[in-house]
Each structure stands twice: as C-alpha cells, then as structure tokens.
C-alpha cells in the first residue's frame, strides 16, 4: 500500500501505511489480536445460511489506539479492490468483538504500546519481566480518522490529517501524536 500511495502522490497515505507497518513490525506475531472461530447466520439473497467467521478479541494489555489503526488497515482489501485480487475461496469475515483476551503480551515493546490500566497494578518484578523497550514511541490516535477523505487542492496532506506534536492531555484532531 505504501508503494501504491507513492504512485498516487498520496503523502498522507504513505505516512499512514508506513506507521501501520512500523507498528505491526514492532508488535510481531505475538502482539496481534487473538481470534476465535465462530459460525454466524447471515442472509444471502433472502436465504438464511450459516457462515464461518473469525471473531477478533481485544488484547487487554494493548493500548486501544492500535485497535482503531488495525480497523482501518483491515478495511484495505475491501476499499482497494483494484489492488487486492482474490483467488480461491472467499475471504472469511472478521468480526471485531469487545471480548477481552488476557494472553500475556510479548516482551521488548515500548511503554506506549500498553494500556495504563494494564501496567499500573503490576508489581515491579512483573514490570521487569515485560522488558520494556528503552526507546519511546510516538503513538498516534486514529479515532474518527477516515482514510477515504482527500486533502483540499493546493494544501499539504499532512496538516489536513492533523498530525502534530500535541502534548499528552491536550486536545487535538484524529491523528495527533500522543
């Protein structure tokens, strides 16, 4: 997606997908959400049928800003049908759930990847076992961000996306750095 955005001259898209790639690389496989298999009843052309789905659980330890990021990233195959070509069986729908997964987090993550409610009650030895990274990470909030909006003609894409250096606790727009 980064390459596609570059070809389109979409700097805000390049920034978004670069950030998403960076987050997924830092989290690694063990930092991704757990999924449960389920079967749901859906209606197709007036007929009710059962369909296999993946129910995506919320990782209790992970900061909720990353849920918004992954929701947007997960929409890419639907939004970019010209880029993502499906062959074989249809895509299994992923349904986001409010159900929490209490699986232990991976080690060596920056503190900013964690929900404070997870870190606060930990004993010092438990915090040491997390082996928090020695670097900080500028976490971005995508709550309310719509990747389908385009910047106004003649203006820079970055200011329209609201990326800034707002200090924690100050107000801001959909993509302020925390």
In the chain, domain spans: 2-161
- 52-82 confidence digits (pLDDT tens): 888 888 899 999 999 889 888 877 755 555 5
Residue 82: predicted pLDDT: 52
Nearest by Cα to 15 from 143, 138, 166: 138
**Mean pLDDT calculated for residue range 33-46:** 83
pTM: 0.70
pLDDT of residue 78: 54
- Alpha carbon of residue 100 to chain centroid: 16
Residue 166: CB partners within 8 Å, gap ≥ 6? 172, 176, 177, 178
Mean pLDDT of the 34-48 span: 84
């Amino acid at each position: 997606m980064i390459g596609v955005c570059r070809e389109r001259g979409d700097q805000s898209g390049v920034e978004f997908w670069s950030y998403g790639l960076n987050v997924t690389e830092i989290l690694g496989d063990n930092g991704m959400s757990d999924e449960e298999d389920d079967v749901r009843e859906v209606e197709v052309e007036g007929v009710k049928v059962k369909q296999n789905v993946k129910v995506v659980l919320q990782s209790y330890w992970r900061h909720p800003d990353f849920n918004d990021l992954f929701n947007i990233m997960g929409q890419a195959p639907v939004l970019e049908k010209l880029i993502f070509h499906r062959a074989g069986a249809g895509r299994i729908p992923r349904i986001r759930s409010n159900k929490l997964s209490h699986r232990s987090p991976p080690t060596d993550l920056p503190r900013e990847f964690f929900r404070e409610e997870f870190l606060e009650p930990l004993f010092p030895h438990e915090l040491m076992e997390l082996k928090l990274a020695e670097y900080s990470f500028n976490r971005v909030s995508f709550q309310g961000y719509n990747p389908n909006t385009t910047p106004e003609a003649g203006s820079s894409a970055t200011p329209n996306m609201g990326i800034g250096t707002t200090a924690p606790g100050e107000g801001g727009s959909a993509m302020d750095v925390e």
